[in-house]
Chain A
Amino acid sequence: MARGQLSAVELTRSCLDRIDTFDSRLHSFITVDEEGAMAAAAAADTKRDLGDEGKLLGIPLSIKDLICTEAMATTCGSKMLANFIAPYDAAVVENIRAAGGIMVGKTTMDEFAMGSSSETCCFGAPANPYNTDFVPGGSSGGSAVSVAAAEALGSLGSDTGGSIRQPAALCGVVGMKPTYGRVSRYGLVAFGSSLDQIGPITRDVTDCALMLAVVAGYDRRDSTSVNRPVEDYPAALRKGMDTLRIGVPREFFQEGIDLEVEGVVRGGIDMLSDAGATVVEVTLPHIKYGVAAYYLIASAEASSNLARYDGVAYGFRAPADELLAMYKDTRTQGFGEEVKRRILIGTYALSSGYYDAYYKKASQIRTLIIEDFKAAFCDCDVLVSPVSPTPAWRIGAKTDDPLAMYLSDIFTLSTNLAGLPGISVPGGFSGDGLPIGIQLQAPHFHESVLLRAAYNLELQTELANHLPSL
């Protein structure tokens, strides 16, 4: 576009055409704003003619449907918010607009981001673009699908226990969860407030660095936002690997991991080693308690955050003659089953008599997991591991077994418990042609090192910008 060979209008039109062609099968969007996107594209072309060089000028992007936008509904994949129009833009949406980005639509997701397959979405689930009988992962499934299928060139998702990285891995794209506090969550619909983080899903690591540079930074409107300078992430990529130490956590290669996934991850470790990195084995002894601790903490926080959906000020309201009945009928009819299940687990874990045994215990285990990571990062700069223990599974295979679904997050959720940055990079394919990702994790605010390792891995795998045949 800078060379005048392609206009924002042409590029946006081509994304909208791909949505028209493929989205009846892929269902990655809940809302598509064709009119708004084309108007923004025309405005971007005018700005470029006037010399504007916004970092995302004229780039069509999709936004997960729990990030507030004034121009489009924000449904969170829930009947509860089916008609909700946010009164303000999220901070990241302001950032995207200021950088000249174009929002083509809002993407399908597990209801209130609670799920690992996007199947709990109340408006129909998205499908994996590499095989539409398989799930795309979740909860940011629609975002990952839209990027994999080039319906958008990048997307913003949210990651509470792996919800950016896991769908990115299952759909063969790059997905990054920044450090807790790195990106403002003002205007992000809350799920687990001590865990939630917004991050980019992109077609390669360079785009990921570019999008992160646009959305990262301090925001006084988010009290968990951390006031630290934003590094030049795109510039950080091109340093080599020769000074980096790669840690391989012993525990991540022990139980329940698919052999093809293990093969791809070990292949990635060899590639990083060939690129000059030193490989060391590290240990995370408490990581095996991560899933149990995570689901108690995340559900407890969810039960508190979702108390606001009472039918009073916005969202769905069931008709009733009396206030308590209105609360109960509204919540019973407005929430889907997985959301109710987590509210119940969380309410129980916080209730009198069980608080110490569940919520407090889980928060103490969390401290031990954080200490494990701190110790491991004394010996290495970046940790490498699988993202998901298996490639994508068939639609419906885990919907009746919540615990099996929770266990699919085993490699990603400890990143959120510890507040670390993590990234999923495409690593290869299963024998069935389904994508397999490799996860990298780094210490707090070491996004530059993380992206540099990811970029060097991507150079070796040569899987950047891979497109499924649709």
Chain B
Amino acid sequence: MISRQEVEHVAHLARLHLSADELVRITEQLTTILAYADTLAAVDTDKVAPTTHAAASTTAFRDDIIRASLPLETALANAPARDEQNFIVPRVI
């Protein structure tokens, strides 16, 4: 069971607003979905290691070599707001 307050808190963590209607509807839907997810509690997993990579067992390493990165103009091409070499964002503090 997830409360509306918890959904509001999670929405804040995820940087989302929910309207009053959305909050009611999504709380109901998440309650149903999480009740279904709770069926996992029936399985004894005390001695089971969690999986992180399904097919490989080794971590990929590479040599620490400097390579060319995106040109400045390309990196800024999709910016919602920019000047010559920076992304512009609203006031932070």
Task: Spell out A's residues near B (CB within 8 Å).
Answer: 83-85, 87-88, 179-181, 194-195, 220, 223-226, 286, 289, 291-293, 295-296, 303, 307, 310-317, 320-329, 331-332, 335, 337, 340-341, 343-345, 347-349, 351, 357-358, 360-368, 370, 402-403, 406, 416-420, 444-445
Q: Which of B14, B29, B49 contacts A347 (CB 8 A)?
A: B14
Given the interface pairs A224-B56, A292-B40, A320-B90, the reply to whether A348 lies near B81 with Cβ below 8 Å is no
Interface residues in B12-32 by Cβ distance below 8 A to A read 13-17, 22, 26, 29-30, 32
CA distance A266 to B29 in the complex (A): 36
| Residues from chain B with Cβ under 8 Å of A224 in the complex | 53, 56, 60
Measured in the bound complex, the distance between the Cα atoms of B74 and A109 in whole Å is 27
Q: Counting CB contacts under 8 A, is B66 at the interface?
A: no
Q: Which of B14, B17, B34, B91 contacts A303 (CB 8 A)?
A: B14
B51 at the interface (CB under 8 A from A): yes
Whether A343 contacts B78 by the Cβ 8 Å rule is: no
Pair B40/A363 contact, Cβ less than 8 Å: no
Tell me whether A322 and B45 are in contact in the complex, defined as CB-CB below 8 angstroms, given that A328-B15, A403-B36 are known contacts. Answer: no
- Other A-B contacts than A312-B87, A324-B15, A365-B43, 16 sampled, CB-CB below 8 A, are A224-B60, A303-B14, A312-B89, A315-B78, A317-B80, A322-B91, A323-B91, A323-B92, A332-B17, A344-B14, A347-B10, A348-B2, A348-B34, A361-B41, A417-B54, A419-B55
How distant is the Cα of A331 from the Cα of B89 in the complex, in angstroms? 15
Q: Which residues of the partner chain B approach A348 to less than 8 Å between Cβ atoms?
A: 2, 6, 10, 30, 34
In angstroms, Cα B45 to Cα A366, docked, is 10
**Complex-state Cα separation, A464 to B80, whole angstroms:** 47
B50 to chain A: closest residue by CB: A363
Candidates B29, B33, B53, B89; contact of A323 at CB < 8 Å: B89
- How far, in angstroms, from A294 to B42 measured CA to CA in the complex? 16
Q: List, in ascending order, chain B residues with CB within 8 A of A351's CB.
A: 10, 13
Nearest residue, chain B, Cβ from A223: B60
Is the pair B48, A444 in contact by a Cβ cutoff of 8 Å? no
A314–B78 CB distance below 8 A: yes
Q: Are B29 and A402 in contact (CB under 8 A)?
A: yes
How far is A194 from B56 in the complex, measured between Cα atoms in Å? 11
Chain A residues lying within 8 Å of B6, measured Cβ to Cβ, are 348
Closest-by-CB residue of B relative to A327 is: B15
B89 adjacent to A326 (CB under 8 Å): yes
Query: B42-81 CB contact bits vs A (8 Å, 1 = yes)?
Result: 0101001111111110001010000000100011011111
- A42 vs B62: C-alpha distance when bound (angstroms): 40
A343 touches B45 (CB 8 A): no
Closest chain B residue to A329, Cβ basis: B17
Q: Is residue B39 contacting chain A, with contact meaning CB distance below 8 A?
A: yes
Q: Is the interface of B mostly helix, strand, loop or mixed?
A: loop
Cα distance A351–B10 when bound, in Å? 8
Give the 9 A-B CB pairs with smallest separation, nearest first. A419-B54, A363-B50, A314-B78, A317-B80, A364-B45, A419-B55, A223-B60, A364-B48, A180-B55
**Could you tell me the distance in whole angstroms from the C-beta of B84 to the nearest C-beta in chain A?**
16
B48 A367 Cβ-Cβ under 8 A:
yes
CA distance A225 to B53 in the complex (A): 11
Asked if residues B10 and A365 are in contact (CB atoms below 8 Å), the reply is no
**Chain B min CB distance to A297 (Å):** 9
Say how far B23's CB is from chain A's closest CB, in angstroms.
11
Q: A220-B62, A226-B55, A347-B10 are in contact. Are A296 and B26 (CB under 8 A)?
A: no
Contacts of A337 in B (CB 8 A): 22
User: Do A368 and B77 touch across chains, with their CB atoms under 8 A apart?
Assistant: no
- Inter-chain contact A367/B50, CB cutoff 8 Å: yes
A196 to B6, CA, bound (A): 30
Picked from B2, B7, B10, B54, the residue with its CB within 8 Å of the CB of A180 is B54
Among residues of A, the one whose C-beta sits closest to the C-beta of B14 is A347
Chain A's nearest CB lies how many Å from the CB of B58? Answer: 9
CB <8 Å contact, A368 and B43: yes
C-alpha gap A111/B36 in the complex (Å)? 24
The interface residues of chain B lying within 8 Å CB-to-CB of A325 are: 90
Task: Kindly provide the distance from the CB of B21 to the nearest chain A CB, expressed in whole angstroms.
Answer: 11
- CB distance B16 to A344 under 8 Å? yes
B residues near A329, Cβ cutoff 8 Å? 17
- CB pair A326–B30 under 8 Å, yes or no, is no
